[in-house]
């Protein structure tokens, strides 16, 4: 699992440019599924049919997004410095000195204009990427080019660090749950979605096409267990978090109860999550067609939307166990 996670997190795929990560995931799931297809928005839809002849099986959708945050070139100045805007939640305080890599393989370092105080947090329009060019003419990137952040996977034992844990860790959990799911009474759709970071676009269109009876997302959530973090009761190493609400969604209480009941029966540690900001693909799924009961299994993650996101490997393994147990048994929702 760790080697696969390294491959997933180090693969370049900002929102809207998910081709490379989709190839990696497809290679892992194609022999595990009954059907595999890619829709018009690039979502990878992986179906596991019911295996026990259940009449009128529940159609369940599980979404984990493939994309990651990144930057897009807005213009190149006369001296070859690349100005950019964010793709997704890109926060200036996390960027200075960071490395990015463009789709064409060009790498660069992020710098900023002088500020009046060293403690000032600059806006994105005061920052630039230095790719080593000396003029606009010899700059190897152009307006509209896209870059992802560049950082190697780091294995600290139980704690794992990488860029794009959000949400490659959810993709890993989905892949491993599919691998472990030997039989199911449900018609299950694992969907590896596109463009979550810019508005959950892929989940919306794929959910419309699948028309599930219920579903949930697998995504990261925040953390409350480092110095100064307050009022968020989620910690690394205490199990996957069962989302009750976030900044864009109220989980269906029946989904929450299903998750809790399954975790307790299987003796899987879990946490209850109330996140005040941010949301996941579950929000988009919830609102399609006539509405879908949804929830979310969250992986606690420190330093979200930085190039060094950290998760606990035990939480990851327990999330796989929880989702496998949920899908292996019938559900009355």
Q: What are the residues facing 73 on neighbouring strands? A: 84
Q: What residues act catalytically? A: 196
Please tell me whether the peptide bond between 167 and the residue prior to it is cis, using omega within 30 degrees of 0. Answer: yes
The residue whose two tokens read 């929450």 is: 256
| Calculated CA dihedral for residues 99, 299, 251, 289, nearest 10 degrees | 60
| Cα distance between residue 274 and residue 222, in whole Å | 10
Element (H, E) at 265: helix 253-265
Q: Which residues pair with 222 in a beta bridge?
A: none
Strands (E), the chain: 35-38, 44-48, 59-65, 70-76, 82-87, 99-102, 107-112, 127-130, 146-149, 154-156, 159-162, 187-193, 214-221, 241-245, 271-274, 294-300, 309-312
């Amino acid at each position: 699992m760790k080697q696969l996670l390294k491959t997933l997190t180090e693969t370049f795929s900002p929102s809207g440019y998910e081709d490379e990560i989709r190839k990696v995931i497809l290679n892992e799931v194609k022999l595990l599924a009954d059907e595999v297809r890619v829709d018009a928005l690039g979502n990878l839809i992986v179906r596991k049919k019911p295996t026990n002849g259940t009449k009128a099986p529940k159609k369940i959708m599980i979404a984990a997004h493939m994309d990651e945050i990144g930057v897009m070139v807005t213009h190149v100045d006369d001296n070859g410095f690349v100005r950019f805007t964010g793709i997704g939640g890109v926060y200036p305080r996390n960027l200075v000195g960071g490395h990015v890599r463009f789709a064409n393989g060009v790498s660069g370092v992020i710098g900023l204009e002088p500020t009046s105080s060293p403690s000032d947090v600059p806006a994105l329009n005061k920052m630039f990427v230095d790719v080593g060019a000396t003029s606009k003419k010899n700059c190897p990137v152009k307006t509209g080019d896209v870059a992802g952040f560049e950082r190697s996977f780091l294995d600290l034992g139980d704690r794992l660090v990488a860029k794009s844990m959000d949400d490659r860790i959810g993709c890993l959990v989905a892949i491993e749950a599919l691998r472990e799911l030997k039989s199911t009474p449900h018609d299950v759709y694992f969907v590896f979605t596109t463009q979550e970071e810019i508005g959950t676009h892929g989940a919306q269109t794929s959910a419309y096409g699948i028309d599930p009876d219920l579903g949930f997302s697998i995504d990261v959530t925040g953390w409350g267990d480092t110095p100064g973090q307050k009022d968020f009761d989620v910690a690394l190493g205490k199990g996957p978090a069962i989302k009750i609400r976030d900044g864009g969604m109220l989980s269906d209480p029946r989904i929450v109860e299903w998750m809790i009941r399954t975790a307790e029966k299987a003796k899987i540690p879990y946490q209850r999550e109330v996140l005040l900001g941010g949301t996941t693909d579950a929000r988009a799924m919830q609102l399609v067609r006539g509405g879908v009961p949804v929830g979310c299994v969250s992986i606690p993650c420190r330093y979200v939307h930085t190039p060094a996101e950290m998760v606990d490997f035990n939480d990851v393994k327990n999330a796989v166990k929880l989702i496998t147990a949920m899908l292996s048994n019938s559900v009355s929702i």
